[in-house]
Structure 1
Amino acid sequence: MKNFFKEFKEFITKGNIIDMAVGVVIGGSFGKIVTGLVENIINPFVGLFMNSGDLANWKTVMEEAVLDPKTGEVVTPEVAFMWGAWIQTIIDFIITAFCIFLVLRVIMKVKNKLDAAKIAEEEKKAAEEKAKADAELEAVKARQAQLEESTLNQEKLLKDIKDILSKK
């Protein structure tokens, strides 16, 4: 049981879980902002053109509500297609999706710029390392050429000494 709670604690304290929780809270608040925009600004504007006053009230009644004639209470509620509420939900979704798209677009542009800078830095570092390796290779080749030349000179000198000694 201790292990279970230990694993749960590790899970809950990971950065991703905390980031997700913050996202849920901000998302909920953002949803309220979008709902307020749709209900308080867009719907009244649309209602002006539909002569209904409010988009949420736009409906097609299939069967009227039945009222008790004595008390005026609803005995059977009306059956209606609530087109306005459905359209309002679609508008909420479109606005939310558009705003999320805009935020993600900005985030991705910043990320791409950072990635491009990181890639450019890595390419520069790789080019510097390649130049350093090439310089070291050239130095090794030059040293090897010197050694070969020295070996040839030694062989020539030994041959000359041998020739001189053989003539005596």
Structure 2
Amino acid sequence: MIKEFREFIARGNVLDLAIGIVIGAAFGKIVTSFVNDILMPPIGLLLGKVDFSNLFINLSAGEYQTLAAAQEAGAVTINYGLFLTTLIDFLIIAFAIFLVVRQVNRFKRKEETAAIEPTTKKCPYCLSEIALEATRCSHCTSEL
């Protein structure tokens, strides 16, 4: 499954891209809310009551307790906490799209194998492949 997921991410299929855009747009807000409101608070609690929305590196002079205070003061910051949250959003959406495309590919494979009708049969005497319409085996000359 991980190998298929890696192949899915690496290939540039237009259908996959279209499905990704539609599903990403449709579920983007839901996934963002899930990550911000349900997933990240317990993770932050497990990591010592860390609020991921306030994880930042201040590149300006001065000390700021929160990201909002730093932004209000116009400080230059690297907001790695927000980046981690966005990364988790992306991985959840990408995995959901992968599952949908994987299912679509399974249905396509089943349709392709069902659509292919055999054109040959095995001779019951010598077991060689012969045409379906054949009345005599071309290999052992047995009548069928």
Q: TM-score, normalized by length of structure 1? A: 0.51
User: Which of these residues, 75, 79, 84, is aligned with residue 78 of structure 1?
Assistant: 75
* Higher radius of gyration, 1 or 2: 1
Q: Does 1:51 align with 2:49?
A: yes
Query: Partner letter of residue 127 of structure 1?
Result: T
Deviation at residue 95 of structure 1 after TM alignment: 1.1
Determine the C-alpha separation between the residues in 2 that align with 1:34 and 1:106.
Answer: 21
Who is 2:104 aligned against?
A: 107
User: Which of these residues, 29, 32, 36, is aligned with residue 35 of structure 1?
Assistant: 32
3-state SS of paired residue (1:135): coil
Paired residues of 1:65 and 1:79 also in contact (CA < 8 A): no
| Higher normalized helix content (fraction of residues) | 1
RMSD: 3.3
Determine the C-alpha separation between the residues in 1 that align with 2:112 and 2:96.
Answer: 24
Deviation at residue 50 of structure 1 after TM alignment: 4.0
Alpha-carbon spacing, 1:83–1:29, altered in 2? closer, same or farther (3 Å): same
Deviation at residue 77 of structure 1 after TM alignment: 1.4
User: Which of these residues, 95, 117, 120, is aligned with residue 127 of structure 1?
Assistant: 120
Runs of 5+ in structure 1 lacking a partner? 1-19, 67-73, 139-168
Q: Per chain length, whose mean CA-contact separation is higher, i.e. which structure has more relative contact order (CA < 8 Å, sep 6+)?
A: 2
Alpha-carbon spacing, 1:75–1:106, altered in 2? closer, same or farther (3 Å): closer
Paired residues of 1:38 and 1:88 also in contact (CA < 8 A): yes
Determine the C-alpha separation between the residues in 2 that align with 1:111 and 1:96.
Answer: 23
Paired residues of 2:24 and 2:93 also in contact (CA < 8 A): no
Who is 2:124 aligned against?
A: none
Determine the C-alpha separation between the residues in 2 that align with 1:110 and 1:130.
Answer: 30
Q: TM-score, normalized by length of structure 2? A: 0.58
